[in-house]
Amino acid sequence: MQLNRIIALVLVVVCFAAAALGITRRQTEESIDLTAFRNKGDRLELVTLSGAISGSSSSSTSAKAVWERLIELRSEDRVRGVLLSINSPGGTVGMSKEVYAAVRELRELKPVVVTMLDQAASGGYYIASAATKIYANAGTLTGSIGVILSGFNVKELFNKVGIESQTIKTGPYKDIFSPFKQISDPERELLQELLQSTYQEFVSDVADGRKMDLEVVKKLADGRIYTGSQAKANGLVDEIGTSEDALDDLRGMARKQFSLPTNQKLPLERTPASFDRLLDQLTGNSNVLPELRSSSVSQTLDGLLQRFLKLPSQESSRELSNLDPPILLMPSWYQ
């Protein structure tokens, strides 16, 4: 494991050295033929969202990478439609809402068709609901419209082994949901209000995106999971079919919206990652790139050493001490 981190670090240093020698972003993109790819004729774009939704950018199929690509596609006139493939159990509220908004804005310019694979639940369904049309397989797991906030109470366990938590705080709610104490009634009420507010936004956005009556959505939004067939029956998805079925429908919608000939091929393609995204994926951390742009060489290498070799730092110590659980749009069975 240590050897793999060293090899990865060497690769990053080589990339940094190449940039220092004058290899510009434009030259790099030309080397992977990104400009030529974008200048092709009319086509459809495949965007894949896979895994739990969060603000980290660990791969080209992460929620953040998908959000960035959807924003780029607004200005790419040659892309006449987007096939958004979703295989996700959901995730954090903030990133789910960001991708939802990006899909909503994009569908105002060109058709966006979602194809659901194994699962598109909770935050995954939240995002799908913003599309022009939704396809699911009969056995797809979807729905789970709701919000969850969960944690552990280890107070009794610590008491048995003689460990006592000591907390100094500036307000009565600063250590809310601490695993070292029981939640008080005022804290529980505050958290429930917070979840209800988020839930109302979730339900409202789904109703808006699907053009469904709000009260109808509320009856479906009790956290339960639906199969694709059940979701079709209750109006949460439009069609039962494969990704090929969704693609054929998308082609027809794009030809109609942009008055294209019925014999125009409109191939489905995936744009290669830009230099920024390639570097983010290489390092596995979207926060590395700004350091490469603005920090000195010594600061950059020091930061990379800490990340790849797991050396302790003040920043990492602060991160490890943060016990606040995220509010999730994710079914509890996934945790």
DSSP letter for each residue of 148-209? B------HHHHHHHT-------SSTTTTTT-TTSPPPHHHHHHHHHHHHHHHHHHHHHHHHH
Residue 57 DSSP label: -
160 is catalytic: no
Provide the pairing of β-strand 79-88 with 43-50.
Answer: parallel
Among candidates 92, 147, 149, 102, which has minimal Cα distance to 128? 102
| CA distance linking residue 189 with residue 265, whole number of Å | 57
- Helix H segments across the chain? 2-20, 25-31, 34-38, 63-73, 93-107, 123-128, 155-161, 185-210, 214-220, 228-234, 243-257, 275-283, 288-294, 297-309, 314-320
229 is catalytic: no
Q: Indicate the SS3 state at residue 119.
A: strand
| CA distance linking residue 156 with residue 158, whole number of Å | 5
* Chain Cα centroid distance, residue 136: 19
Say which of 150, 165, 169, 174 is annotated catalytic: 174
* Chain Cα centroid distance, residue 324: 20
Say which of 54, 60, 122, 286 is annotated catalytic: 122
Among candidates 137, 141, 142, 111, which has minimal Cα distance to 127? 142
- Which active-site residues does the annotation give? 122, 174
